[in-house]
Structure 1
Amino acid sequence: MTTPRRTFLAASCAAASSALLAPHVSAMVTGKRIRVGQIGTAHAHASGKLAAMRQQEDLFEVVGVVEPDEARRAAMQKSKAYQGVTFLTEQQLLETPGLAAVAVETAVADLVPTAMRCLAAGKHIHLDKPAGVSLPQCVAMHQLADQNGLTIQMGYMLRYNPAFITLFEMVRDGWLGDITELTGAMSKLASEGLRKDLAQYAGGGMFELSCHLIDAMVTVLGRPDKVTAHNRGTRDDGFLDNQMAVFDYPTAIATIRANHLDPFGFPHRHFNVVGQSGAYHINPLEPPQAKLALDRPRGKYAKGTHALKFERPTGRYDAEFQDLAKVIRGEKQLAWDSKHDIAVHEAVLLASGMPTQ
C-alpha cells in the first residue's frame, strides 16, 4: 500500500497542536504523591504499568483499578500482579477526589474511547499503544487533550530506553549529520496463542509491536512523505506474520520490519541510523547495547567506532512514569506533542496496511 503525504493529516495536526496550552496542574499534586488509577487489565503491558506505578510510592498513590469484565476481574483479583489492589467502577475512579491521571490499559479497540472519557473528566492519561485503529478518532482525542490543557503520554517504551535517549540527543545535536538511512526490526517467534491474539489486528505484528520502532523513527526523521507496506501471512489463520514497511523522506529511506517467524527474534531486534557524518546501531534493544561511528571527534568521543554501555534500567516502565510525574506537577512539558503522536499513528496504520480515513 503506497500513500502520499495527506492534506487531511496536515490540517488535523495543525488543529490539534495549535497554541499548545500549559499542562493542567492540580494544586493537589504539588509536593504530594500523585493520585492515579488504571482502567483495563487486558493490554499486554497492563500488569507491568501498574507495577511501575505501585513501586514508585514516593511519586504515586494508586487509588484503584477498573476492569468491567466480571470474569477477567475475578481472575485478576486472584493474580499476584493485582494483589491488594482496590477494584472500582469507572465512575468511582473518575470521581475519586484529587485523581490526577489514569493509565489506560484496555484492549486496543477500547483504548481511545476510554481515553476520551478520562480526558472529558479532566484527567491526564498514560495511553498504551497503539492508539486504536482509527486515525480520525486519534486526532479527536488529541484535540480534546490540547483544548483542555491535558497531557497524553503514549506508551511507546523505547522513548525512555537509555540507548534511544542517547540517539535522540546525538541526532538533535547534529552528530550524525544529515540522515540518509534508518532500519529497524522488532521480531519474535509467535506461539500459537500469540498468533491467535494478534490475528485480531488487521495490521498484524507491524501494528501491535513494531509501532514502538515507528515512534522512534518519527522522533528521528519526522513524518514520512510516503509509506509503502509489504505484508505477508504464511498461514491461513489471518495473522500477518512477515511484514516490512518502507518510509520515504526527502533525503532518507527508512525500513521497519515485523517478523513473527524468527526463532532468534529478540537478539535480532535492532534500530540503525546512518548519517553523512556518523552512524548509530542499537542491538539488542533490551537490555540495550549500541555502537557509535563518527567521522570526526564529537563531545567525549574521538573519530572512529565506539561501543557504548548503559546502566540497566531499574524497571522497564519506571522512567516513563517518572517523566509523567514531572509533567503533571508542571515541571516540564512532555517531549512528544500531539502533532508527533498523530504522525506516528498515521505511519503505523499505513505501514500495517490499515485505512486512515
Structure 2
Amino acid sequence: MKKIRIAQIGVCHEHALGKIISLKRLPDYFEIVGVVDDNTFSKTPKFAGDYLVPYEGLKFLSLEEVLNDPTIEAVTVEVPNNELVPMAIRCMERNLPMHLDKPAGEDPVLYRKLLDGCRERNLPLQMGFMFRGNPAFRFCIEAIRSKLIGEVCEIQADMNHCYGGEEYQEYIGKFSGGIMYNLGCHLIDFVAAAMGRPEAVTPFLKSAPGDRDSIRNNCMAVLEYPHAIVTLRACSRIPGNIDKRRIRIAGTGGVIEFSPVERFDGKGVEVALLLTKDANGFPAGTHTLRFPPQADRYEEQLIELAKMIRGEMTNPYSYEHDYLVEEITLAASGYTKWRWYDK
C-alpha cells in the first residue's frame, strides 16, 4: 500500500498535538514529511503551540517549502481558529487534499470560496470535527435517520469542561462567539448530520459566574425542528471535565443516553438504549451497547482521508453538509441571524 506523503501546517491549534500523534500511529498510511511551526507568523488568538515534544524527530519546514513541494500529497491544517480557512485556501490553490481543523472561521463567504474551489478541483477536504470517528456518535446518527427510537422529540448535548484555568477563559473571551464558536461546532456537526437543517437557531451567550461579561464561556444554543428541540451547551467552568459530557436523545419510541461521550483508556463508550417496542433488530426494553475502544479521536478519520486521496472511498460528509455546519455555528454563536429556507 502506497504511503501518502503528508505535512502538518501549524502547531498552534488546540488539536494540533492530537493530530500529529494520530499521524504517527498510522505509518502504514502516511509518511510525515515535516511540520510547519506557525508560531512565527500566526497572529490571531491561540491556546496552544508552546509544547513541541510530540514533534521531536520530525523535520520542521517553512510554509513555502510545504506549499511548493510537488511530492507532498496532503496536509493537515492546524493553525489557530481564525487563520484556518485562509490557510486552507492557499492549500486548495495548490491542489492539496487536506484535513482542516475546526471551526470554519467567522466569514461564511470565505469558507464558501474554499468549498467551491475544492469542489471544482475534486479535492478531498475533511473537516476535523472530533466526533466523526466516534462509533457511539455514528450509531446515534444512524439511529436517528432510521427512526430506531421513533420520531425525535429532543436532543440534549454538552461540551462542558473545566480545563485550561484562567488562561483559557481569556482565550475564549477573544471570540465574540465564545465557547459555542470554539467547541459547540462539534455538536452542531453531529446534529446536522442526523437532523439536517433546522427551522430556527437561537444563541444564548453568557459568562460563567465570576467572569467578565465579555468572556462568553457559558453558552447555549437552541435548534428548532418541526417537532424537535435541540439544546446544545458549552461551559468552561463545569467540574468533572470532559468525562462528564453527555448526550441524550429522546424520541416517540425510545431514548438514547451516554456519558462519557468518548474515552481513550482502553475501554469503549457505553450507550444506554431504551425501546418501547421491537425496532431494527432490537427487542423492546433496556439495552447497554458497548462500542469498540478508540486509541484516539482522529485515527479513523485520517484513515478515511487516506482512502479518499487514493480514490477508495468518497467523503461521507458533503461540501453542502460542511457549509450547513458553518451556517448553524455562526448563528448559534451570535455572528449571524438564522435564515430558514429549503435548498
TM-score (norm 1): 0.86
Provide Cα deviations, 1:250-282, integer angstroms capped at 9, x if missing partner: 121111011222112423311222222222112
Q: Which one-letter code corresponds to 2:112 in the other structure?
A: V
| CA distance in structure 1 between the aligned counterparts of 2:336 and 2:236, rounded to whole angstroms | 22
Equivalent of 2:232 in 230, 253, 256: 256
Runs of 4+ in 1 over 6 A off after TM superposition: 75-78
Q: Does 1:111 align with 2:84?
A: yes
Corresponding position of 1:327: 308
Aligned residues: 325
Equivalent of 2:242 in 266, 273, 276: 266
CA contact (8 A) 2:172 2:217 kept: no
Corresponding position of 1:48: 18
Q: How far is the alpha carbon of 1:299 from its aligned partner?
A: 4.2
Equivalent of 2:278 in 286, 292, 297: 297
Q: Which one-letter code corresponds to 2:98 in the other structure?
A: I
CA contact (8 A) 2:11 2:39 kept: no
Aligned pairs for 1:159-174 (under 5 A) are: 159-174=132-147
Corresponding position of 1:225: 199
Q: Does 1:243 align with 2:219?
A: yes
The runs of 5 or more residues in structure 2 that have no matched partner are 43-47, 264-268, 339-343
| CA distance in structure 2 between the aligned counterparts of 1:78 and 1:143, rounded to whole angstroms | 35
Corresponding position of 2:68: 95
| CA distance in structure 2 between the aligned counterparts of 1:283 and 1:157, rounded to whole angstroms | 16
Secondary structure of the residue aligned to 2:54 is coil
Corresponding position of 1:144: 117
Q: Which one-letter code corresponds to 1:210 in the other structure?
A: G
Secondary structure of the residue aligned to 1:305 is strand
- Greater Cα shift, 297-306 or 98-107: 297-306
Q: Which one-letter code corresponds to 2:28 in the other structure?
A: D
| CA distance in structure 1 between the aligned counterparts of 2:246 and 2:50, rounded to whole angstroms | 37
- Greater Cα shift, 94-103 or 209-218: 94-103
CA contact (8 A) 1:244 1:256 kept: yes
Q: How far is the alpha carbon of 1:316 from its aligned partner?
A: 2.1
The runs of 5 or more residues in structure 1 that have no matched partner are 1-30
Q: Which one-letter code corresponds to 1:37 in the other structure?
A: A
Equivalent of 1:184 in 138, 144, 157: 157
Q: Which one-letter code corresponds to 2:243 in the other structure?
A: P
Q: How far is the alpha carbon of 1:336 from its aligned partner?
A: 0.8
Q: Which one-letter code corresponds to 1:201 in the other structure?
A: F
Equivalent of 2:39 in 66, 69, 74: 69
Provide Cα deviations, 1:34-64, integer angstroms capped at 9, x if missing partner: 1111111100110110111122100001111
| CA distance in structure 2 between the aligned counterparts of 1:102 and 1:80, rounded to whole angstroms | 20
Secondary structure of the residue aligned to 1:111 is helix
CA contact (8 A) 1:104 1:127 kept: yes
Provide Cα deviations, 1:50-93, integer angstroms capped at 9, x if missing partner: 11112210000111111243499xx9798321101111122211
Distance 1:68 1:261, change over 3 A: closer
| CA distance in structure 1 between the aligned counterparts of 2:276 and 2:172, rounded to whole angstroms | 43
Distance 1:265 1:80, change over 3 A: closer
Corresponding position of 2:186: 212
Secondary structure of the residue aligned to 1:160 is coil
Superposition RMSD in Å: 2.0
Q: Which one-letter code corresponds to 1:286 in the other structure?
A: E
Distance 1:211 1:78, change over 3 A: closer
| CA distance in structure 1 between the aligned counterparts of 2:181 and 2:39, rounded to whole angstroms | 25
TM-score (norm 2): 0.89
